[in-house]
Each structure stands twice: as C-alpha cells, then as structure tokens.
C-alpha cells in the first residue's frame, strides 16, 4: 500500500496542529460558529443531531492492520465503542466530542491517516473496486491511478472551494462495477485501445441526491499520461461554470445537463488545450513510482487446495459462506474473503472496537496485514490461502461477521437516518432491522439470489436508494415518517435510476410490501434470472398493480 514520505507526513502533521489551534479558539469564543464552519468541514467534522460526526479518509478503502487497530482504539476511547463504514469506503464516528477531535486527528496522523477533504466543497475520497489488484477479471490494478488522483486532488489550490463536493471513482473490472462508477461526478473506466495502450474512458455528471443522474461519456479514450491534465480541465470548467447561487443546482451533473453533454465536452476540450502536455502531464517514471507501492505481496506457490474440497463437502454452513462470501483470486491457491457487517440486529456498516481488533488480527494472520472497506459497507481480506479459509471462517463467525449473505437481500446499504442524522426525514435503521428480521431464512435468501436493497433516510441519498434494485426512501408527510419504494435501480455498468412504485407506506407496512415485491419476482422469474433481470423483462407496471391491489 502507499506509505507516506516525509512530505506527506509533514502536511498531515501541520494540519493537525492548525486544527487544534482553531478548535481551541472556537471553544474559547475566539471564532464564531460561522467562522469555524469551513474550518471544521475541511477536517471532516459535521455537527449532527446529538454529537459531531467525524469522517476519516480511507483512500480507495485500503487499510493496514495497524490503522485498523488505531480505529478500534479511537472508537473505544473517544466514541461509544463503534465505528461506521460508509459507502465512500471511509470510516465515520458518530459520537466524538468536539474538544477531543484534535487529539483524534493526532492519533490518526500517527498511523498515516487523516480527515482532510472528507467534507466540504472539494474533491472527496476517490473510490474503486475492493477487489482491485487481486481479481482475475480486471484490466489492470486501479489503485495506483486512485493514488495519483489522491495526490493531485489533496490540497489542490484551484479546487479547494468548488461550487459543491466532488466525487471520483475508478473502475478497471472487465464486466462488473462494484463502486457505482457511473454515479460519480467523474467516473473513470480503465480501457485498452487497439494498439494495446492503457487509457481511460471518462464519464462526467453522475450523482444521486435530489436529482439522480447517470454519468455521460465525454472522452472515449484518454491516454494514460493525460489523466491529470484532463481532470484539471473538467474541474476548471466546473469551477468556472458550476452554479454557486443554488446549492441544489451546484453539482457538475446539473451543469452537464444544462449545457448538454456535447457542449460540455467541447468546453472541456478547449480548456484542455492549455493544459495538455504541460507540467501536469504524467511521466512514465511517476506512474511507475506510484505503481511501485502496489506490488504483489509475498504470495507462496500453491496449488488448488484439497482440504478445502473436503471441508466444503462436510460442512454445509461453511460451504454456504464459501459460495457467497468468498471470491476467486488471480493467484492459484488464494481467495478473496468478504467479511459482512450485516448481522441481524446490527445497523449495516457498524463495527465495534472489539470487532475492529479482530479484523486487524485476522488481516495479520491471514491476509498480509491489509484490509479493504467496501462501497457496500463490508470489509475484505484480499489474500487468504484457500487452505486457511476454514479456520478464518470459524474465527470470523465467532466475531459476528460471517453471515453468508453477500449480495443477497439482507446485505443492504443503509444510511444512519433519523437515529443520528439531523437531515433525515425518517429513520432508516429500524426499517433495515425489520427487514433483516423478516427475511432471516437463509435458504429463502439464497433462493432469491442477488438483490441490492438500499435505504436512505432522506433525498440526499447517502444510502444510494436510487440505485438499489429495490430502493427505500424515508419521506416526511406532515411530520410523520413514511417510506417510498422504487424498483429497477442498478449501480453496475448498465447503471439505472430506479422508478418510484407509487404512494409511500407506513413503516410497519414495509416488510409486507417488500414481501409482495419479492413474491411477484418469484412468480415471474424464469430459471436463473436475477431480480433485476426479471424486473427489466416483465416491466414496472405488474409490480405496481400487484403491490397496490386491494385484494392483496
Ligand atoms: C449523519 C451524517 C451524515 C450527513 C449529515 C450526511 C449528509 C449528506 C448530504 C447533505 C448529502 C447530499 C449531498 C448532495 O446534495 O449532493 C449526502 C450524500 C451522500 N452521503 Fe451522506 N451524510 C451522512 C452520513 C452518511 C453515511 C453514514 C454515508 C454512508 C453510508 C453517507 C454517504 C453519502 C453518499 C454516498 C452520498 C452521495 C450521494 C451522491 O452520490 O450524490 N453519508 N450526505
Ligand atoms: S440520506 Fe439523509 S438521512 Fe441518510 S445520512 Fe444522508 S442526509 Fe442523513
């Protein structure tokens, strides 16, 4: 993984000292609320319903076991004993005290972590596939490009005060997309041209929230060396033309829509002419330097495991877990393991200090001391020997994160909603819990197959409800909490925004409504068809009619 050099460490340490002083001045009354606001946002600090929320940056989701132990220590010492994995693969703390935040940041800096640019109108954490570098089905490892973007974007003087926040994702998978790339301000798909050269297809103007939009292609093939100059050009066009008069119309997606994608792409190209081949051009040396941080760990020469075959045949629970939560690795004899944070009774993405310590230990013993956070709010151990899967499974099970439901209905994305978030229209965690409780039969879940169910507590869409195959949105009706259901959303390469089913429902109706939706799918599906494929084939209206039918 990327290790800070002296320069990286110095800027992070300086920022810690600066924020400590700013917080002290604020607490002593020397800075007003208004003056303190941009300062705290630049350091990942929101003020929430009950306490501040601190968002810690986890570049492209990658963490060392030392960093995970530090996160556990922070959860234990400064929070209520847990942390939360977010859909941008960051870590959030919901209960720190403001006076402790400078100390937390100092603790983070001691393990090369920080909260810089995790909020505010700047370029946020760049995300990618959690299987990058280890899946057999990718063009190249996307992480070095994410790191290049991270170094370019952190403290970029021109883009510190953009019209709104700005999110970038990079995907290199040949057929899948695990980081919702098409729903980003800039989505970068790594591609190869006819000459066999690596480059990027650049998509701009995706995003969720109030106006959900799938990104549009603005550059079919951008050569590798031009990555940063082209991104500079896109950001400049946005910085100059993005709306600052209306917060809700400020994202780049609104600009792309207003101008039309061709006119937008022309503007970017015109801007790019000043920058192309300039000092921002990537040299091969620089690309190689960054790639040097992502070399393969010390893999042993292994063959496919025989003991694994026996263990799978003998133990049904283990084989269920293996089928769902273990993925193919590019190196023979190894496997990728996803630890699911979706246990019944636990808010999706929540992890306790004790569990974080267990994750760190497991990473040390089974996976070269590294873990990865996922967009779906789980944790990955990327390099596990097949021979050791059984032992790992037993330990993971004891710690509560081996529920064999990866990609199934109960592996849902859910934002904190009204339980913690001041912006919520409705609670979302109790809905997640009610659904987890209702659909706790694993055989039924396995039979249903892959379904993305996403829940947000308001239209800001932190829970990505628009792109759930089934989406649930909390809405407020005259002070009462209701829930709107949408169907057909998808975050993959064919990204689609879900369509609203109809009038919203009361909270206690939700399990029954979802049950009806699933029954219609089971009734309509043909052999081997996923929920989303059936929905696309049979159409929206049959779901609408049957869910709202009086006789139901
Ligand atoms: C309680 C603290 C939180 C607050 C105050 C908050 C606030 C917001 C706001 C205001 C937006 C809308 C941005 C816009 O208009 O473009 C947003 C979007 C978003 N939030 Fe949160 N959020 C919180 C927690 C979370 C959590 C826990 C997650 C992860 C599970 C998350 C992930 C996201 C994502 C991915 C979006 C993106 C929507 C897009 O792509 O445009 N947020 N959040
Ligand atoms: S979707 Fe709304 S309720 Fe949920 S975390 Fe985001 S802002 Fe809060």
Run of H or E including 523: helix 510-524
List the structure tokens of 20.
Answer: 């400590």
In Å, how far are 153, 202, 451, 549 from 199, measured between CA atoms?
Answer: 20, 10, 32, 51
Ligand index nearest the alpha carbon of residue 84: 1
Torsion of CA 180, 537, 137, 190, to 10 degrees: -50
Q: CB of 59 within 8 A of CB of 2?
A: yes
Atom of ligand 1 nearest to the CA of 180: 40
* Cβ-based neighbours of 502, under 8 Å, separated by 6 or more: 485, 544, 547, 548
Ligand index nearest the alpha carbon of residue 423: 2
In Å, how far are 175, 182, 477 from 248, measured between CA atoms?
Answer: 33, 20, 21
CA within 13 Å, CB half, 72: 17
Q: CB of 408 within 8 A of CB of 449?
A: yes
> Strand locations in 69-158, DSSP E?
82-85, 91-93, 127-128
At residue 355, the pLDDT reads 95
Select from 424, 432, 474 the residue to mutate for testing ligand 2; criterion: most ligand atoms less than 8 Å from CB. Answer: 424
In Å, how far are 92, 116, 148, 362, 383 from 395, measured between CA atoms?
Answer: 25, 34, 36, 8, 16
At residue 551, the pLDDT reads 61
At residue 550, the pLDDT reads 78
* b/e 273-297 (16+ beta carbons within 10 angstroms → b): eebbeeebebeeeebeebbeebeee
Distance CA 474, CA 453 (A): 14
Q: CB of 58 within 8 A of CB of 128?
A: no
Q: CB of 453 within 8 A of CB of 518?
A: no
Cα(47) to ligand 2 centroid in Å equals 13
Torsion of CA 316, 318, 324, 325, to 10 degrees: 170
List the structure tokens of 431.
Answer: 């809905």
Q: Please tell me the residue having the least CA distance from ligand 2 atom 6.
A: 462
Task: Give the pLDDT of the chain (552 residues) as one tens digit per residue.
Answer: 999 999 999 999 999 999 999 999 999 999 999 999 999 999 999 987 777 899 999 999 999 999 999 999 999 999 999 999 998 999 999 999 999 999 999 999 999 999 999 999 999 999 999 999 999 999 999 999 999 999 999 999 999 999 999 999 999 999 999 999 999 999 999 999 999 999 999 999 999 999 999 999 999 999 999 999 999 999 999 999 999 999 999 999 999 999 999 999 999 999 999 999 999 999 999 999 999 999 999 999 998 788 999 999 999 999 999 999 999 999 999 999 999 998 877 788 899 999 999 999 999 999 999 999 999 999 999 999 999 999 999 999 999 989 999 999 999 999 989 988 889 999 999 999 999 999 999 899 999 999 999 999 999 999 999 999 999 999 999 899 999 999 999 999 999 999 999 999 999 999 999 999 999 999 999 999 999 999 999 999 999 999 999 764
Distance CA 3, CA 121 (A): 27
* Cβ-based neighbours of 213, under 8 Å, separated by 6 or more: 205, 206, 207, 253, 256, 257, 497
Stated length of the chain: 552
Residue 389, classed as helix, strand or coil, is helix
Run of H or E including 385: strand 379-385
Ligand index nearest the alpha carbon of residue 475: 2
Select from 88, 348, 462 the residue to mutate for testing ligand 2; criterion: most ligand atoms less than 8 Å from CB. Answer: 462
Taking every pair of Cα atoms in the chain, the longest distance, rounded to a whole number of angstroms, is 69
Cα(462) to ligand 1 centroid in Å equals 4
Residue 219, classed as helix, strand or coil, is strand
Return the number of other C-beta atoms located less than 10 Å from residue 486's C-beta: 22
Tell me if 458 CB under 6 Å of ligand 2: yes
Atom of ligand 1 nearest to the CA of 423: 5
**CA-based R_g, the chain, Å:** 23
Distance CA 519, CA 511 (A): 12
At residue 216, the pLDDT reads 98
Residues with CB under 6 A from ligand 1: 46, 48, 53, 84, 86-88, 92, 183, 207-209, 251, 349, 415-416, 420-421, 423, 460-462
249: β partners? none
At residue 31, the pLDDT reads 95
Ligand index nearest the alpha carbon of residue 207: 1
Phi-psi region of 407 (alpha: psi -120 to 50; beta: other; left: phi over 0): left
Question: 3-class secondary structure for 290-342?
Answer: HHHHHCCCCCCCCCCCHHHHHHHHHCHHHHHHHHHHEEECCCCCEEEEEECCC
Select from 350, 423, 466 the residue to mutate for testing ligand 2; criterion: most ligand atoms less than 8 Å from CB. Answer: 423
Lookup result for tokens 């909020």: 119
DSSP of 437-493? HHT--HHHHHHH----EEEESSTT-TT-GGGSSEEEEEEEETTEEEEEEEE--B-ST
**pTM across the whole model:** 0.94
Q: CB of 104 within 8 A of CB of 54?
A: yes
Run of H or E including 403: none
């Amino acid at each position: 993984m990327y290790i800070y050099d002296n320069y990286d460490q110095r800027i992070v340490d300086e920022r810690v000292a600066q924020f400590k002083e700013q917080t002290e001045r604020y607490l002593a009354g020397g800075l007003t609320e208004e003056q303190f606001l941009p300062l705290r946002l630049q350091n990942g600090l929101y003020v929430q319903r009950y306490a501040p929320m601190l968002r810690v940056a986890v570049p492209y989701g990658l963490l060392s076991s030392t960093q995970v132990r530090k996160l556990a220590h922070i959860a234990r010492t400064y929070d209520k004993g847990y942390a939360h994995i977010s859909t941008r693969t960051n870590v959030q703390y919901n209960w720190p005290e403001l006076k402790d935040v400078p100390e937390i940041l100092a603790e983070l800096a001691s393990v090369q972590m920080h909260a810089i640019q995790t909020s505010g109108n700047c370029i946020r954490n760049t995300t990618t596939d959690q299987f990058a570098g280890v899946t057999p089905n990718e063009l190249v490892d996307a992480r070095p490009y994410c790191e290049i973007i991270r170094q370019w974007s952190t403290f970029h003087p021109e883009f510190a005060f953009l019209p709104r926040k700005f999110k970038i994702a990079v995907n290199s998978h040949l057929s899948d997309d695990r980081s919702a790339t098409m729903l980003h301000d800039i989505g970068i798909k790594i591609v190869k041209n006819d000459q066999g050269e690596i480059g990027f297809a650049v998509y701009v103007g995706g995003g969720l929230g109030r106006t959900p939009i799938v990104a549009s292609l603005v550059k079919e093939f951008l050569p590798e060396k031009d990555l940063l100059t082209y991104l500079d050009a896109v950001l400049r066009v946005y910085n100059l033309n993005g709306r600052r008069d209306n917060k809700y119309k400020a994202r780049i997606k609104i600009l792309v829509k207003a101008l039309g994608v061709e006119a937008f792409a022309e503007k970017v190209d015109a801007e790019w002419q000043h920058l192309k081949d300039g000092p921002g051009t990537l040299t091969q040396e620089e690309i190689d330097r960054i790639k040097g941080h992502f070399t393969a760990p010390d893999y042993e020469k292994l063959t496919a495991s025989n003991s694994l075959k026996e263990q799978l045949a003998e133990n049904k629970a283990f084989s269920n877990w293996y089928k769902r939560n273990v993925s193919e690795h590019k190196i023979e004899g190894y496997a990728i393991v996803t630890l699911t944070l979706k246990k019944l009774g636990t808010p999706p993405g929540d992890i306790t200090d004790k569990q974080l310590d267990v994750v760190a230990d497991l990473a040390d013993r089974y996976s070269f001391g590294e873990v990865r956070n996922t967009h779906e709010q789980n944790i990955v151990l990327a390099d596990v020997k097949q021979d050791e899967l059984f032992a790992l499974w037993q330990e993971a099970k004891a710690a509560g994160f081996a529920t064999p439901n990866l990609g199934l209905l109960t592996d849902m994305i859910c934002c904190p909603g009204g339980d913690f978030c001041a912006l919520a229209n409705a609670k979302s965690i109790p809905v997640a819990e009610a659904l987890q409780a209702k659909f706790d039969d694993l055989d039924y879940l396995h039979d249903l197959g892959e379904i993305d169910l996403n829940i947000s507590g308001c239209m800001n869409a932190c829970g990505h409800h628009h792109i759930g195959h089934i989406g649930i949105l909390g809405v407020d009706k005259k002070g009462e909490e209701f829930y709107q259901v949408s169907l057909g959303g998808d975050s993959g390469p064919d990204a689609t925004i879900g369509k609203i089913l109809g009038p919203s429902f009361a909270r206690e109706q939700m399990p029954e409504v979802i049950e009806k939706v699933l029954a219609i799918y089971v009734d309509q599906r043909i052999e081997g068809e996923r929920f989303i494929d059936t929905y696309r084939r049979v159409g929206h209206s049959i779901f609408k009619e049957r869910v709202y039918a009086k006789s139901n």
